Each structure stands twice: as C-alpha cells, then as structure tokens.
Structure 1
Amino acid sequence: MVDTYSRGYVLAARRMFCSGILLFLLGLASLWAVTRHSANSWECDPACRLSTSTTWEVAEWAGGALAVLGCMLAVASFLMIRWRGPRTQPGKDGP
C-alpha cells in the first residue's frame, strides 16, 4: 500500500499538477497560433478557397493532444490528493 501522506507522494502530485497546467497552457497557445489567420492561406486554382498546410494541421493536432493531456494530468493529481486514504497508526501493520 502506498503511503499517501508521505512527502514523496505529495511532491509527485504537486509536480503532476504543475506539469498538467503547463501542458494545458502550451496546448492552448498552440491551438491559438493555428487558428490565427497567418496559419491559413488562400489558394486560387479554379476557385479561391482557404487552405492550411500540413505543418499547421500537425500543430493543431499536437496542440489539442497537449491540452487534453495537461487537463488529464491536472485532474488526476487533484484526485490523488483529494482521495487520499485514512492515516494509518504508527504501530499498526494491517486491519
């Protein structure tokens, strides 16, 4: 059983939360950069249409993945701290 009140456990949850927030913000920034008008260009062969290059498509998918991963990490770390088990007595090995 994992000691959920140890410093290592709380430190890991805190780092997970900070990493999750950082990844979420990085993903949102990437999505914002893709949705700007500079990522799209007009192609006029027979008819003019708005197109996006493959690089920007990959950046859009990566930004979405980072935002989802960051959100999942932040929620998981929040639940790690919130759903900690009860404290065990110092001399007790089991129930």
Structure 2
Amino acid sequence: MVDTHSRGYLLAARRMFWSGVSLFGLGLAAGWSATGRWATSWDCDPTCRPGTSTTWHVIEFTALAVIVLGTALAVSAFLMIMLRRPRPRPESDSSRATE
C-alpha cells in the first residue's frame, strides 16, 4: 500500500495539481489565440469569405486536449489529497495489557 501521508506522496500530488492548473491556463491561452481575429484570413476565390488555415484548426484541437488534460490532472490531485486514508492509530501498551 502507498503511504498517503509521506512527503513524497504529498509532493507528487502538489506537483500534479499545479501542473494541471498551468496546463489548463496554457490551453485557454492557445484556444483564445486560435479563435482570435488574426487566425482568420479572407479567401477570395470566386467569393470573399473568411477562412481559417489547417494549422489554426490543429492548434484549436490541441488547446482543447490540453485543457482537458489540465483539468483531469488538477482534479485527480485534489482527490488524492482529500481522499487520503486516515493515519493508523498507534496501539498503546495499555490495550495490550488487557488482552
């Protein structure tokens, strides 16, 4: 079993949480830039209409995936901390004497 009260466990959960928060923010920034006005250009073949390049579509899809990954990391780290097992109760000498 994993010792959920060890320093390594708590450090790993803390790093997971902050990595998830930073990935979430990075995904939001990338998604916002992919939907910005500079991501679209006007294609005037027979008619003029706004068009978005394939690169911006890939950035938008990747941003969505990073947002989902960041959210999953942050939530799982939060649950790792909140749902830890309680510390085992130390057995005292008086309980052994009565047996």
Q: Output the TM-score relative to the length of structure 2.
A: 0.87
- 1:7-86 residue pairs with structure 2 within 5 A? 7-86=7-86
Q: 2-side partners of 1:65 and 1:50: how far apart?
A: 25
Deviations 1:25-46 (A, max 9, x none): 0000000101111000111112
Unpaired stretches in structure 2, ≥5 consecutive residues: 92-99
When the two structures are aligned, how many residues end up with a matched partner?
A: 91
Letter paired with 2:25: L
Report deviation, 1:89. Answer: 3.8
Deviation of 1:90 after TM superposition, in Å, equals: 5.2
Q: Which moved more, 1:42-51 or 1:7-16?
A: 42-51
- Spell out structure 1 runs of 4+ moving beyond 3 A: none
Q: Which runs of 5+ in 1 are unaligned?
A: none
Q: Select the structure of larger CA radius of gyration.
A: 2
TM-score (norm 1): 0.91
Structure 1 distance, partners of 2:47, 2:90, is: 76
Compute the RMSD of aligned alpha carbons.
Answer: 1.1
